[in-house]
């Protein structure tokens, strides 16, 4: 009886949207038409690591798709220089229009020609969508010019009677001084139509300059999801108030001399840390703690870098202490071998690891009480109290964290693809690994467990056990043994910093990275997430694809899309990032060359050079009816048919007013 009441209430509400039989039939017809359209274009990008200018350009050029479309449309009438200039107008309309105006290259004729060509490209991009969907998209991005853009896109250029009408639109906007606004609106329309959905497969943060700018761009996207990486989990932990995550974020940022994201992006002052470091480590051997290099790869012993070295020493010691505390209070993490401070012999300046003694590069630990090595000193505790409060008080960081929770998760199953950042932990014999940190769960249940606790760590009330446990889980996801996002036996931060012997720096990977070449293992993982048959894939990043290595594995079932956006990986990968593109024709992967910078791109019409490889061609066009969206539409149609039947039986009255 209760379910009956809920059902009647639902159909009563549905009838408000569709008050007559005619309106229901009209909607059913429209939805059936949508089912037969080609699927939208999905773009998959991973491991952006703060490289905001390169990422922004990839979005603006739709991973090279816009340039290819322009060459296809206008290759016979425009030379390469003209095509490149038009592409730059589309990518950066306001900036390029200003540049062209300053050089005196804009005329009425230039405006007419540019508007016509942009309209032609817009028409091409709109072909596979319904007019209603296109109009909604235009309304979202065109800042009040939607009516003009709709008129221009749906103009019939072959209709002689209307040709003059449409020419008059061009003349009007040019002579009234609004051509720049219409060009900007057309550029936004083109970019919106070229990219239907964006998947970010983890690691937005760290290494590059401005992860906050990347997140602002993602928030502005219409359809986007984020599969968290271990660096994202670390920042979520910092936003949630985890002291160990805050210390690690700071250490990572100082290591790469990446302070703008903290101070400019999130308004977090490092001045108190700088003052503490200056007082405590004034006699420091700075060479050990210098940032990883300036733009040319060299380390300069200037005052700025020396200050960073001192801050890095201060926060490293704090990090090692806080990590020890996290390990001690979470024995189920099984990371006791990472308790390293109590293995140091400060008098001999050595540490014992795995039964072997190693000389440590720096034995100056004035804040460490070796009887209680994981206890913060009074000064360290005061600094961390300030820093944790600063992260918590950043409105922008809070907004970005909430976006990552709302749009993201540990994994996503979408259009027959399983998308995650790191791994599904496996044992050496190819079975799903059970983790004590996840209460002995494995496979999908393990991923769901960590997803739940990552959310509890941020949204549970302060002071609760759920909040405390969830924050520690976020740290575990960053660096824990066989964490699905970290996927390593250990993160050797201590060894890499303080021990010369490079054999101690090795961070063994989970067995997943040996097994992912095997089709049978890939099928096992896909089946765990209810996926089987053709056109099913595992898509993940995290481990950069080395030069000469094929990103397509397990007979096409596994696609690794970490191509090294971050400058630190360019030598390893030989490129500067991948984009996986999945459209109605199948799948292709674009390998991108390094991006110079935004101003060079605008002034000299420089695009990112991309080499695209088609690796899975659909036998026939993939339609919306074949995708997840198609299932939702069919469910909607079924509900509308039931509503229509209720109208026909008189169970619900029509309202034609």
Question: Using one digit for the tens of pLDDT, what is the confidence trace for 451-464?
Answer: 999 999 999 999 99
Cα angle value 367/493/336 (rounded, 5°): 80
pLDDT tens profile 59-117: 999 888 899 999 999 988 999 999 999 999 999 999 999 999 999 999 999 999 999 99
Q: How many CA atoms lie within 13 A of 281 on its CB side?
A: 30
- Which residues face 353 on adjacent strands? 356
The strand pair at 417-420 and 537-540 is best described as: parallel
pLDDT of residue 159: 62
Q: Residues 619, 621, 622, 625: is their CA dihedral positive or negative?
A: negative
pLDDT of residue 298: 52
pLDDT tens profile 467-484: 999 999 999 999 999 999
pLDDT of residue 264: 96
Return the axis-axis angle of helices 108-126 and 65-74, rounded to nearest 10°: 110
Residues 289, 227: Cα–Cα separation, whole Å: 32
**DSSP letter for each residue of 502-547:** GGGG--PBPTHHHHTT-HHHHHHHHHHTT--STT-EEEE-SSPPPT
More confident residue, 549 or 205: 205
Categorize the per-residue pLDDT at 391 as very low, low, confident or very high, splitting at 50, 70 and 90. very high
DSSP code for 289: G
Categorize the per-residue pLDDT at 4 as very low, low, confident or very high, splitting at 50, 70 and 90. low
Q: Indicate the helix (H) or strand (E) that contains 119.
A: helix 108-126
pLDDT of residue 296: 42
State yes or no: pLDDT of 536 exceeds 60: yes
Q: How many residues does the chain have?
A: 657
Q: Nearest Cα to 424, choosing from 524, 519, 574?
A: 524
Burial 370-398 (b: 16+ CB within 10 A, else e): eeebbebbeebeebbeebbebbeebeebb
Q: What is the mean pLDDT of residues 195-214?
A: 93
Q: What is the CA radius of gyration of the chain?
A: 28
Residue 160: other Cβ atoms inside 10 A: 8
DSSP code for 594: P
Q: What is the mean pLDDT of residues 157-170?
A: 72
Give the pTM: 0.92
Q: Indicate the helix (H) or strand (E) that contains 613.
A: strand 610-617
State yes or no: pLDDT of 1 exceeds 50: no
pLDDT of residue 655: 83
* Beta strands in 330-486, from DSSP E residues, in sequence order: 344-345, 350-353, 356-359, 408-409, 411-414, 417-420
- φ, ψ of residue 51 to 5 degrees: the values are -80, 80
């Amino acid at each position: 009886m209760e379910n009956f009441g809920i059902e009647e209430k639902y159909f009563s509400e549905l009838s408000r949207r569709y008050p007559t039989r005619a309106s229901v039939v009209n909607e059913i017809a429209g939805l059936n038409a949508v089912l037969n359209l080609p699927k939208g274009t999905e773009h998959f990008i991973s491991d952006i690591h703060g490289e905001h200018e390169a990422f922004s350009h990839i979005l603006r050029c739709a991973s090279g798709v816009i340039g290819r479309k322009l060459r296809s449309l206008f290759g016979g009438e425009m030379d390469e220089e003209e095509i490149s200039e038009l592409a730059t107008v589309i990518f950066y309309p306001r900036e390029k229009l200003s540049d062209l105006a300053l050089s005196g290259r804009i005329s009425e004729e230039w405006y007419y020609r540019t508007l016509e060509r942009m309209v032609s490209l817009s028409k091409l991009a709109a072909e596979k969508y319904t007019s209603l969907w296109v109009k909604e998209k235009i309304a979202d991005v065109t800042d009040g010019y939607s009516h003009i853009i709709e008129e221009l896109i749906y103009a019939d250029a072959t209709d002689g009677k209307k040709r003059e009408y449409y020419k008059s639109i061009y003349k009007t906007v040019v002579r009234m001084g609004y051509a720049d606004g219409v060009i900007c609106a057309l550029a936004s329309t083109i970019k919106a139509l070229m990219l239907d959905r964006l998947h970010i497969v983890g690691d937005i943060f760290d290494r590059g300059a401005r992860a906050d700018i990347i997140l602002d761009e993602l928030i502005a996207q219409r359809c986007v999801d984020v599969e968290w990486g271990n660096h994202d989990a670390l920042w979520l932990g910092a936003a949630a108030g985890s002291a160990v995550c805050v210390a690690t974020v700071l250490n990572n940022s100082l290591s790469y001399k990446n302070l703008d994201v903290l101070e400019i992006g999130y308004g977090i002052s490092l001045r108190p840390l700088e003052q503490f470091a200056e007082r405590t480590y004034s006699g420091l051997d700075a060479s050990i703690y210098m940032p990883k290099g300036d733009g040319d790869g060299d380390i300069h012993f200037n005052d700025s870098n020396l200050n960073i070295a001192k801050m890095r020493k201060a926060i490293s010691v704090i990090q090692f202490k806080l990590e020890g505390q996290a390990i001690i209070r979470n024995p189920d993490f099984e990371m006791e071998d990472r308790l390293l401070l109590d293995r140091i012999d400060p008098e001999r300046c050595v540490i014992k690891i795995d039964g072997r003694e190693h000389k440590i590069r720096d034995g100056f630990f004035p804040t460490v009480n070796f009887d209680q090595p994981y206890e913060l000193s009074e000064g360290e505790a005061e600094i961390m109290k300030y820093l944790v409060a600063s992260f918590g008080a950043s409105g922008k960081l809070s907004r970005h964290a909430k976006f990552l929770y709302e749009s993201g998760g540990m994994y996503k199953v979408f259009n027959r693809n399983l998308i995650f950042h790191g791994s599904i932990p496996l044992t050496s014999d190819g079975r799903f690994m059970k983790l004590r940190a996840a209460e002995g769960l494995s496979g999908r249940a393990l991923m769901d467990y960590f997803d739940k606790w990552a959310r509890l760590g941020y949204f549970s009330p302060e002071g609760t056990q759920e909040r405390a446990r969830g924050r520690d889980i976020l740290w575990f996801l960053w660096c824990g043994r066989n964490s699905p996002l970290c996927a390593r036996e250990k993160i050797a931060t201590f060894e890499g910093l303080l021990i010369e012997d490079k054999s101690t720096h090795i961070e063994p990977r989970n067995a997943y990275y040996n097994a992912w070449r095997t089709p049978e293992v890939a099928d096992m993982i896909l089946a765990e997430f209810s996926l089987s048959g053709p056109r099913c894939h595992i898509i993940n990043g995290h481990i950069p694809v080395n030069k000469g290595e094929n990103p397509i594995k397990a007979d096409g079932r596994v696609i690794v899309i970490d191509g090294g956006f971050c400058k630190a990986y360019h030598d390893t990968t030989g490129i500067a990032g991948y984009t996986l593109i999945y459209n109605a024709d199948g799948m292709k992967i674009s390998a991108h060359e390094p991006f110079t910078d935004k101003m060079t791109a605008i002034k000299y019409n420089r695009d990112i050079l991309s080499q695209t490889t088609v690796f899975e061609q659909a036998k026939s066009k993939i339609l919306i009816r074949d995708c997840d969206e198609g299932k939702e539409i069919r469910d909607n149609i079924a509900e509308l048919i039931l509503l229509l039947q209720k109208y026909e039986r008189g169970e619900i009255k029509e309202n034609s007013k």
